[in-house]
């Protein structure tokens, strides 16, 4: 990527030795800077500061657009992301993705498609979009993202953006190659043709760009995992440049989130410049009418009051209010007592859906989620949601009598499991991975100290992967006193342990610290809400941990007493010979009963091995026990069995073959299978590329009983669930024809 | 070993009571609990009337279903059962043997009932105070220590021992000297002399001191073990002999005397079976070097810090409060010197048997 500084400098420079310029000379150098030109020089603001980030940003912008489009059209999104290695500038093809310098990113969705005449503008004109001009909770806001990605590709490889789009009921899909005239900020359409495309509607965007492919934090894998958590209603397939088979992120809920309602701005949330623009643009003839129709929470009575306080005539023409008057008006607006904006324009992910998202992607034993009531900062409504996924395996009661250290524990568990399920079975892949992870984790801890919690952040369902420490979520998460909830935490840092902290902010306007939208700005109101949400999650975790710790402690006491009971009873037997005698076996039983009584009775067992519902104080929580799931487990998940034994590959293939769609599916191994493969399930969600909109999934507020299916997890998801299909929902009417492979 | 003697207390019955506590609690659904008298300085007091150290009444509850006590509880029951077995089989063992009797792997665990002898030793002492049977009665013994010679004929496990014909080494005093092991047959002694050190005892034995003065001489090799103390108790109480204690002139010697006389803090619960309040301190007194014209320069050993500290502690003990004793100890501190029994040899080899002890006994130059 060419250095930013190499661009020709247009702005006047100040150099002491240069002769002072006259006003005329300066005027000669002053000219318009096109937006595109501006961003060409400031692309770091948009997330294109380095090749690796550029690759992610491109995927991200395209996926965000797809999700927004699908949701708006009431379609459950099925999105395919593909990253291919492209020939380098000199025409050579790199041997490994890590060495590659150029990539082709293709993102394809089953959205409504884009009208032909708009395609150029959507993909090759900055600040063109449907979202900037209204206050509504949506992923993109400024209409910069995807065109910026296209522009970046164009700048680094000279290749145009390729777009295929098909609108429902049109026979042909349109294929475009568009680039951007960076001076005029106007699209240039290179080529247009029509092809037949075997899907009803959808959009596919391909951008060739300079980038760098690297796994780990900030990678495309991570981004898709996170997106899949916050958007459990969407399914993703990811073709990475490394593997032949796509990695799948299955759908977790079958209902679209409620469509957010569009609202007018609240006077507290606007700035003077915006007010001036609104005064000019309004269709109202009178100032009072302008105020009451362009803002929320301003009734005509309030509008009159505002005019009076600002010493302006309610009958003034809005266009004539400018200069000092406008400033007075602005100040009056800020000081007038107004109701908070309505909050129903916010569409939270919902506790159940967050649970489903966390559960399907993050390995853990305890999940909980909280959606806060909506709140307002600077006239903008917002809602904070938080969740926690916690791996209990690493947690041990502090008591000295506690079972052995985690390592031994984990290994022990594996051994036992192996024994139980018969000697023939070798450890499953998932178990081996689990063991390997455990080992790795321990090794890491030895090297670098204990593992810190992972914080995953979202704004309007979009994952934020950079600038964690600048983010209000991070500040709030480190502010929470996690020790109260049974975790370890150093001052001013995240808690330690196998913990994943989820924070989502939904708002009509998420305040970012920069244009690249990487961190949420630190407003007191926002930070407080985040803290409250996290505390609520923490409390639930604390209750859970306490209970487990207590139960484990009681169990260890009981076990210890149990060991000694035999000794004591037998000693009593010997002591009583010829002195009354005693039934040793009966005495043992009696002592055992007393021991159980003093160690918490049946409750202890129940806490460790709960079969029934979780206690009432743990609402919206899933707890994974050896016997299965408990708590607020959505219906679909209830049917899942605890980690089943995977049959050997051969057997698995045979079974897979019996499913109708199985053959079409990209061959997935073992645990990676999609739910479509499950027996008795004809239609797999992954293959349901084009569900008829409106019928397939109604947009509905998040109900309590969101169906969640428990389809096979990603291997990366670490969990392996069986009989997934049983939970599939009836409204799923995927066509099952689309095969992702043929699209590329 | 012979069957229970007449009058002997019923050990199995006492131990069965402990089992009854467990069984009774189990029946009631309660945690079995043993009340064990506290064996510590806090629970010890000097009985002015009886003139010995007694254990107080403080007891600790040992609960079975308490994490901190469960193992000890189990061990206590195991030791009790082992003692019952010894009783049934009529055998005695060392406390080390007992440790191995009860030590085994607990089923279904990688834990042993006991891992170290110190655990079973402590439990034995608990059992002694709980069942109110001393170690010897529990058929347990410690290492033999101490020897005896003199004007007595006794029976040890059926063998008749003539105290006048025990050679130069004397009769080794066993750890258990209870009536069922040791019986007194004939005694012609007028008093008993307990000597701190084997070497001095040897001098007296070689000089046949006991024949000339019609006495029994015994030593305990430093702080006398239970067997020696218990034997002294029996001599005094059964044969009505006076007991004289002959120890070094230093704070440790004083304390040995006081243990014989009043009992020890550690074994306070056994004072009533071992303490001999009538015992007298015959020497070495801090006034003796003067009195007997010892060459102080060549025989005195300077008191070190530990000696002085210990002397001051002893000064404070309630049973050293008599005027004479305070004078004695203060005089030692004033001398700034201590004297070993062997110091008398500086005068002549048999000075102790020919001059010192005869004169002391004749003049009744004792401390109470």
Task: Choose among B15, B67, B74: nearest Cβ to A568.
Answer: B74
Give the residue extent of every domain in chain B: 11-31+66-141, 147-363
Mean pLDDT across A200-210: 90
Interface test with B, best of A401, A559, A568 (most B CBs within 10 A): A568
Q: Does residue B4 belong to the interface with chain A, where contact is any CB pair within 8 Å?
A: no
Domain B11-31+66-141 has what CATH class?
Answer: mainly alpha
List residues bridging with A180 in a β-sheet: A187
What's the pLDDT score for residue A124? 65
Contact between chains at A587 and B74 (C-beta distance less than 8 A): no
Q: Which of residues 11-30 of B touch A (CB under 8 A)?
A: 12-13, 15-16, 18-20, 22-23, 25-27, 29-30
User: Is residue A737 over pLDDT 50?
Assistant: no
Q: What is the pLDDT of residues A230-252, one digit of tens each?
A: 999 999 999 988 887 888 888 88
DSSP letters for A7-63: SPP-SPP--TTSPPPPHHHHHHH-----HHHHHHHTGGGGT-SSHHHHHHHHHHHHH
User: Is residue B128 over pLDDT 70?
Assistant: yes
Spell out a b/e string for A626-658, using b for 16 or more CB atoms within 10 Å of the CB, else e.
eebbbbbbbebbebbeebeebeeeeebeeebee
Contact between chains at A564 and B106 (C-beta distance less than 8 A): yes
Q: Which has the closest alpha carbon to A130: A188, A460, A118?
A: A118
User: Is residue A77 over pLDDT 90?
Assistant: yes
Q: From residue A423, how far is each of A412, A417, A516, A627, A649 by CA, in Å?
A: 16, 10, 55, 21, 17
Q: Contact at 8 Å (CB) between A670 and A228?
A: no
Burial of A36 (0-12, 13-18, 19+ CB in 10 A): buried
User: Is residue A428 over pLDDT 60?
Assistant: no
Two tokens at A580? 């009354």
Give contacts of A560 with chain B, Cβ < 8 Å.
Answer: 67, 70
What's the pLDDT score for residue B307? 92
B100 is catalytic: yes
What's the pLDDT score for residue A679? 39
Q: Does residue B103 belong to the interface with chain A, where contact is any CB pair within 8 Å?
A: no
Mean pLDDT across B288-297: 88
Mean pLDDT across A1-15: 46
What's the pLDDT score for residue A613? 43
User: Is residue A40 over pLDDT 60?
Assistant: yes
Q: Across the A/B interface, how many CB contacts are shorter than 8 Å?
A: 93
Q: Does residue A582 belong to the interface with chain B, where contact is any CB pair within 8 Å?
A: yes
List residues bridging with B257 in a β-sheet: none
Lowest mean pLDDT across A289-298, A416-425, A550-559, B143-152 = A416-425
* pLDDT band at B82; cut points 50, 70, 90: very high
Compute the nearest-CA separation of A676 from chain B (Å): 47
Contact between chains at B65 and A598 (C-beta distance less than 8 A): yes
Computed over every residue of chain B, the mean pLDDT equals 89
Q: Does residue B81 belong to the interface with chain A, where contact is any CB pair within 8 Å?
A: yes
Contact between chains at B70 and A576 (C-beta distance less than 8 A): no
Residue that the structure tokens 């914080």 belong to: A455
Q: What is the pLDDT of residues A499-518, one digit of tens each?
A: 899 999 998 888 888 766 78
* pLDDT band at A608; cut points 50, 70, 90: low
Give contacts of A568 with chain B, Cβ < 8 Å.
Answer: 22, 32, 64, 73-74, 77
What's the pLDDT score for residue A475? 92
Mean pLDDT across A281-293: 88
Task: Choose among B16, B29, B77: nearest Cβ to A579.
Answer: B16
User: Is residue B239 over pLDDT 50?
Assistant: yes
Q: Which CATH number fits domain A40-214: 3.30.470.20, 3.30.565.10, 3.90.1150.10, 3.40.50.460?
A: 3.30.565.10
Task: Choose among A563, A574, A580: nearest Cβ to B109.
Answer: A563
Q: Does residue A563 belong to the interface with chain B, where contact is any CB pair within 8 Å?
A: yes
DSSP A582: -
Contacts of A703 (CB under 8 A, 6+ apart): A255
Q: Which CATH number fits domain B147-363: 3.40.50.720, 3.40.1360.10, 3.30.420.40, 3.40.50.150?
A: 3.40.1360.10
Q: Contact at 8 Å (CB) between B39 and B55?
A: yes
What's the pLDDT score for residue A127? 56
Contact between chains at A571 and B113 (C-beta distance less than 8 A): no
Mean pLDDT across A419-426: 41
Half-sphere exposure of B87 (CA within 13 A, CB side): 25
Higher per-residue confidence, A726 vs A263: A263
Give start and end residues of each alpha helix (H) in chain B. Answer: 11-28, 70-89, 95-102, 117-131, 198-206, 209-213, 226-238, 251-262, 271-274, 288-291, 296-299, 305-316, 323-335, 351, 357-363
Q: Does residue A575 belong to the interface with chain B, where contact is any CB pair within 8 Å?
A: yes
Task: Choose among A561, A579, A597: nearest Cβ to B12.
Answer: A579
Lowest mean pLDDT across A43-52, A122-131, A265-274 = A122-131
Interface test with A, best of B13, B18, B23, B68 (most A CBs within 10 A): B23
Q: What is the pLDDT of residues A353-402, one digit of tens each?
A: 898 888 888 888 888 999 998 888 887 889 999 999 988 553 333 333 33
Computed over every residue of chain A, the mean pLDDT equals 73
User: Is residue A604 over pLDDT 80?
Assistant: no
Lowest mean pLDDT across A261-270, A687-696, B62-71, B94-103 = A687-696
Q: What is the pLDDT of residues A149-170, one digit of tens each?
A: 888 888 888 888 888 888 887 7
What's the pLDDT score for residue A547? 82
Contact between chains at A563 and B23 (C-beta distance less than 8 A): no
Instruction: Say if strands B191-195 and B152-156 run parallel, antiparallel, or are unpaired.
Output: unpaired
Contact between chains at B65 and A561 (C-beta distance less than 8 A): yes
* pLDDT band at A30; cut points 50, 70, 90: low
Contact between chains at B32 and A591 (C-beta distance less than 8 A): yes
* pLDDT band at A134; cut points 50, 70, 90: low
User: Is residue B86 over pLDDT 80?
Assistant: yes
Mean pLDDT across A658-678: 38
Give start and end residues of each alpha helix (H) in A73-188. Answer: 119-124, 145-157
Compute the nearest-CA separation of A547 from chain B (Å): 19
Q: What is the pLDDT of residues B255-264, one digit of tens each?
A: 999 999 998 8
Q: Which of residues 194-233 of B touch A (CB under 8 A)?
A: none
Determine the residue of chain B that is closest to A576 in CA distance: B16
Percentage of the residues of chain B whose pLDDT score is greater than 70: 98
Contact between chains at A560 and B64 (C-beta distance less than 8 A): no
Compute the nearest-CA separation of A601 from chain B (Å): 13
Interface test with B, best of A569, A571, A590 (most B CBs within 10 A): A571
User: Is residue A430 over pLDDT 70?
Assistant: no
SS3 content of chain A, % helix, strand, coil (to 5): 40, 15, 45
Q: What is the pLDDT of residues A685-717, one digit of tens each?
A: 333 333 343 333 333 443 444 444 444 333 333
Angle among Cα A473, A476, A481 to the nearest 5 degrees reads 140
Q: At what angle do helices B70-89 and B117-131 cross, to 10 degrees?
A: 70
Give contacts of A552 with chain B, Cβ < 8 Å.
Answer: none
What's the pLDDT score for residue A620? 67
What's the pLDDT score for residue A634? 52
Percentage of the residues of chain B whose pLDDT score is greater than 90: 56
Instruction: Say if strands A172-181 and A186-196 run parallel, antiparallel, or are unpaired.
Output: antiparallel
User: Is residue A113 over pLDDT 90?
Assistant: no
Give contacts of B67 with chain A, Cβ < 8 Å.
Answer: 401, 557, 560
Lowest mean pLDDT across A178-187, A454-463, A529-538, B255-264 = A178-187
DSSP letters for A591-624: HHHHHHHHTTHHHHHHHHS--SPPPTT-TTEEEE
Q: What is the pLDDT of residues A622-635, one digit of tens each?
A: 776 655 566 655 55
Lowest mean pLDDT across A442-446, B57-61, B94-98, B196-200 = A442-446
Give the residue extent of every domain in chain A: 40-214, 267-335, 544-631
Q: From residue A421, how far is each of A347, A435, A648, A712 by CA, in Å?
A: 46, 17, 13, 21
Q: Which CATH number fits domain A267-335: 3.30.930.10, 3.40.30.10, 1.10.8.50, 3.30.700.30?
A: 1.10.8.50
Distance of CA B258 to the CA centre of its chain: 11
Looking at this predicted complex, what is its ipTM?
A: 0.73
Higher per-residue confidence, B260 vs A116: B260
CA dist., res. A663 & res. A669, Å (int): 13
User: Is residue A616 over pLDDT 60?
Assistant: no
Q: Does residue A584 belong to the interface with chain B, where contact is any CB pair within 8 Å?
A: no
Mean pLDDT across A63-92: 88
Q: Is B344 left (phi over 0), alpha (psi -120 to 50) or beta?
A: alpha
């Amino acid at each position: 990527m060419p250095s930013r500084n190499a661009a020709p400098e247009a702005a006047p420079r100040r150099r002491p030795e240069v002769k002072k310029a006259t006003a005329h000379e300066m005027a000669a150098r002053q000219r318009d800077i096109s937006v595109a030109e501006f961003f060409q020089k400031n692309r770091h603001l948009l997330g294109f500061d380095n090749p690796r980030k550029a690759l992610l940003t491109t995927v991200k912008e395209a996926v965000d657009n797809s999700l927004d489009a699908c949701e708006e059209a009431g379609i459950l999104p099925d999105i395919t992301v593909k990253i291919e290695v492209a020939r380098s500038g000199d025409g050579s093809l790199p041997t490994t993705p890590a060495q590659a310098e150029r990539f082709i990113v293709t993102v394809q969705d089953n959205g409504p498609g884009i009208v032909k005449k708009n395609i150029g503008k959507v993909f090759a004109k900055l600040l063109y979009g449907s979202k900037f001009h209204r206050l509504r909770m949506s992923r993109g806001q400024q209409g910069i993202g995807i065109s910026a990605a296209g522009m970046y590709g164009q700048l680094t490889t000279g290749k145009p953006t390729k777009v295929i789009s098909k609108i429902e009921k049109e026979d042909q899909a349109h294929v475009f190659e568009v680039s951007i005239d960076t001076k005029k900020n106007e699209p240039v359409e290179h080529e247009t043709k029509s092809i037949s495309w075997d899907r009803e509607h959808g959009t596919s965007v391909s951008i060739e760009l300079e980038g760098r492919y690297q796994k780990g934090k900030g990678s495309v894998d991570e981004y898709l995992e996170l997106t899949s958590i916050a958007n459990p209603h969407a399914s993703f397939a990811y073709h990475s440049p490394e593997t032949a088979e796509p990695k799948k992120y299955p759908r977790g809920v079958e209902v679209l989130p409620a469509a957010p309602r569009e609202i007018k701005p609240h006077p507290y949330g606007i700035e003077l410049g915006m007010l001036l623009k609104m005064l000019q643009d309004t269709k109202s003839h009178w100032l009072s009418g302008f105020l009451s129709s362009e803002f929320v929470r301003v009734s005509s009575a309030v509008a009159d009051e505002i005019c009076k306080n600002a010493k302006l005539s309610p009958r003034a023409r809005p266009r004539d209010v400018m200069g000092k008057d406008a400033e007075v008006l602005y100040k009056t607006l800020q000081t007038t007592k107004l109701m908070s904006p309505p909050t129903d324009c916010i569409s939270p992910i919902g506790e159940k859906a967050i649970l489903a998202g966390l559960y399907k992607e993050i390995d853990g034993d305890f999940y909980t989620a909280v959606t806060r009531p909506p709140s307002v900062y600077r006239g903008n409504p917002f809602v904070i949601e938080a969740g926690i996924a916690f791996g209990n395996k690493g947690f041990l009661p502090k008591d000295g009598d506690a079972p052995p250290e985690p390592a031994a524990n984990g290994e022990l568990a594996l051994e036992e499991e192996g024994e139980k399920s018969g000697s023939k079975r070798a450890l499953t892949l998932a178990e081996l991975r689990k063991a390997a992870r455990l080992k790795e984790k321990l090794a890491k801890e030895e090297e670098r100290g204990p593992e810190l919690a992972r914080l995953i952040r979202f704004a309007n369902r979009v994952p934020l992967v950079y600038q964690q420490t600048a983010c209000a979520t991070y500040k709030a998460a480190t502010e929470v006193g996690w020790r109260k909830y049974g975790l370890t935490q150093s001052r001013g840092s995240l808690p330690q342990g196998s913990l994943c902290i989820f924070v989502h902010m939904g708002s009509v306007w998420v305040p970012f610290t920069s244009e690249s939208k990487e961190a949420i700005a630190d407003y007191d109101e926002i930070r407080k809400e985040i803290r409250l949400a996290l505390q609520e999650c923490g409390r639930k975790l604390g209750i859970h941990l306490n209970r487990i710790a207590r139960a484990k402690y009681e169990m260890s006491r009981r076990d210890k007493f149990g060991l000694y009971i035999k000794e004591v009873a037998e000693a009593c037997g010997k002591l009583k010979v010829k002195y009354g005698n005693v039934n040793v076996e009966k005495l043992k039983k009696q002592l055992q009963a007393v021991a159980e009584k003093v160690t918490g009775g049946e409750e202890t067992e129940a806490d460790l091995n709960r079969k029934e519902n979780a206690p009432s104080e743990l609402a919206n929580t899933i707890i994974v026990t050896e016997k299965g799931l408990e708590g607020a487990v959505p219906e679909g998940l209830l049917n899942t069995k605890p980690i089943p034994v995977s049959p050997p590959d051969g057997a698995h293939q045979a079974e897979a073959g019996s499913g109708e769609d199985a053959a079409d599916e990209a061959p997935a191994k073992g645990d990676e299978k999609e739910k479509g493969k499950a027996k008795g399930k004809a239609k797999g969600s992954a293959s349901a590329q084009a569900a008829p909109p409106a019928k397939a999934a109604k947009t509905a507020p998040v109900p309590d009983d969101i169906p969640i299916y428990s389809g096979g997890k990603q291997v990366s998801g670490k969990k392996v669930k069986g009989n997934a299909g049983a939970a599939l929902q009836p409204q799923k009417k995927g066509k099952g024809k689309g095969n992702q492979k043929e699209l590329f | 070993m012979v069957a229970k003697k007449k009058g002997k207390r019923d050990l199995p019955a006492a131990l069965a009571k402990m089992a009854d506590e467990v069984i009774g609690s189990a029946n009631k659904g309660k945690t079995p609990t043993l009340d064990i008298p506290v064996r510590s300085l806090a629970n010890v007091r000097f009985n002015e009337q009886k003139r010995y150290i007694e254990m107080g009444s403080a007891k600790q509850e040992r609960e079975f279903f308490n994490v901190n006590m469960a193992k000890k509880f189990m061990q206590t029951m195991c030791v009790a059962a082992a003692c019952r077995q010894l009783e049934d089989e009529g055998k005695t063992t060392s406390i080390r043997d007992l440790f191995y009797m009860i030590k085994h792997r607990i089923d279904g665990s990688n834990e042993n009932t006991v891992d170290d002898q110190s655990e079973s030793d402590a439990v034995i002492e608990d059992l002694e105070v709980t069942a109110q049977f001393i170690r010897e009665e529990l058929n347990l013994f410690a290492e033999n220590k101490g020897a005896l010679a003199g004007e007595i004929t006794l029976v040890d496990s059926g063998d008749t021992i003539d105290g006048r014909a025990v050679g130069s080494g004397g009769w080794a005093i066993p750890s258990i000297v209870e009536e069922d092991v040791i019986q007194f047959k004939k005694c012609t002694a007028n008093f008993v002399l307990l000597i701190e050190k084997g070497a001095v005892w040897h001098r007296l034995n070689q000089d046949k001191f006991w024949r000339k003065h019609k006495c029994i001489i015994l030593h305990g090799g430093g702080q006398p073990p239970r067997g020696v103390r218990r034997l002294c108790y029996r001599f005094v109480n059964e044969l009505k002999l006076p007991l004289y204690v002959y120890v070094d002139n230093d704070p440790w010697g004083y304390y040995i005397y006081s243990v014989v006389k009043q009992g020890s803090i550690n074994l306070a619960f056994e004072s009533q079976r071992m303490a001999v309040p009538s015992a007298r301190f015959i020497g070495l007194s801090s006034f003796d070097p003067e009195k007997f014209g010892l060459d102080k320069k060549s025989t005195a050993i300077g008191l070190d810090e530990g000696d002085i500290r210990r002397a001051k502690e002893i000064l404070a003990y309630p049973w050293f409060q008599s005027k004479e004793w305070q004078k004695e100890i203060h005089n030692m501190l004033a001398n700034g010197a201590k004297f070993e029994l062997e110091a008398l040899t500086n005068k002549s080899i048999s000075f102790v048997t020919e001059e010192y002890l005869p004169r002391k006994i004749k003049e009744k130059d004792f401390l109470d």
